[in-house]
Amino acid sequence: MTGGFLDAKGTRAHFNDPAGLTVDRAGSVVVVDCGNHTICTVSKAGAIVSMLAGNGEAGSADGQGVDATLKDPCDVVLASSSDLLVSNAHVIRVVTPGGVMRTLAGSGQADFVNGQGPAACFNQPAGLALDTHGSLLMADSGNHAIRRVTMAGTVSTVAGNGEPGFANG
Amino acid sequence: MEGASERARARGLEAVVTTNTIPGMGHPNGIFVLADGTRLAVTEEHTLLQIPPSGRLATITGYVKKDEDTEEDRTRRKMRLTR
């Protein structure tokens, strides 16, 4: 299969290993383009693909649009605030509708630590969902755990102790 | 001897799994369901697909070389969800 990196219309646009998606308040599809380290939007009308955040280079810089960088982003959900929450290399990033990216939680180092904002650690955060209170639930795949992240950046563990296994409890 | 994990597994097998036959689906990585039941999926074939309740699949964006697609992707029983 052919991956690539090209903003365009319809099948002329190229993704590289798209991993997750959601739909924003405007009805555009938001795609996590993992292999290109970017977040793209696909317009409701005409299927125009354009970049929201990231520039194709792997990194961890916060910033606006192409000034921000991501590394192997995995999934995205739409928060009640209309911001997008993105699972990235050991951190959770927030992207505003205007494309400004910041880090909500995670130090960037792979570890298993609860705490506030950058004091918390994840290990390969993957699938995302929102709970009924508007907090983020995340599959912390490398830690074999489900973690909760509030919109204020407080991280706790819902289930799992860091060890692989298959037991209810 | 049956361990705790095996006992837990046996009690958990309550889900019913069905398969949508969608030729050309390829290898989905992520899925999102719209309010009208339309499913959107991104795939390892670098495409964004739309699958309405009718099941007729359409490619919204992304590019895939048709001649590199595999028969296995298109066969119901062999279709697999992989990363």
Tell me: pLDDT of B31 over 60: yes
CB pairs under 8 A between A and B: 92
On whether the CB atoms of residues A21 and B30 are closer than 8 A, the answer is: yes
Residue B64 is predicted with a pLDDT of 61
State the nearest Cα–Cα gap between A26 and chain B, in angstroms: 13
State the nearest Cα–Cα gap between A25 and chain B, in angstroms: 12
On whether the CB atoms of residues A62 and A77 are closer than 8 A, the answer is: no
Residues B15-27 pLDDT 10s:
787 776 677 778 8
Tell me: pLDDT of B83 over 50: no
Tell me: pLDDT of A100 over 80: yes
A52-73: average pLDDT: 92
Residue B23 is predicted with a pLDDT of 73
Indicate the Cα dihedral angle A55, B82, A109, A76, nearest 10°. Answer: 50
Tell me: pLDDT of A83 over 70: yes
Cβ–Cβ gap B42/A23 under 8 Å: no
Q: Which tops the pLDDT comparison, B15 or A157?
A: A157
Residues A117-134 pLDDT 10s:
999 999 999 999 999 999
A15 touches chain B (CB under 8 A): yes
Residue A84 is predicted with a pLDDT of 96
Q: How many residues does chain B have?
A: 83
Cβ–Cβ gap B44/A1 under 8 Å: yes
Beta bridge partners of A125: A140
State the nearest Cα–Cα gap between B18 and chain A, in angstroms: 22
Q: Which tops the pLDDT comparison, A158 or A13?
A: A158
Residue A112 is predicted with a pLDDT of 97
A24-51: average pLDDT: 86
List, in order, residues 6 or more apart from B1 with CB less than 8 Å away: none
pLDDT confidence bin for A166, thresholds 50/70/90: confident
State the nearest Cα–Cα gap between A83 and chain B, in angstroms: 17
Residues B33-73 pLDDT 10s:
999 999 999 988 888 888 888 878 888 887 665 544 433 33
Residue B73 is predicted with a pLDDT of 35
Least trusted range by pLDDT, from A42-51, A103-112, B35-44:
A42-51
Cβ–Cβ gap A167/B29 under 8 Å: no
A44 touches chain B (CB under 8 A): no
- What percentage of chain A has pLDDT greater than the value 90? 70
Tell me: pLDDT of B8 over 70: no
Give the C-alpha separation, A162 to A143, whole Å.
5
Residue A93 is predicted with a pLDDT of 96
Class of residue A124 by CB neighbours under 10 A (exposed 0-12, middle 13-18, buried 19+): middle
- Say whether pTM exceeds 0.90: no
Nearest CA in chain B to A167: B5
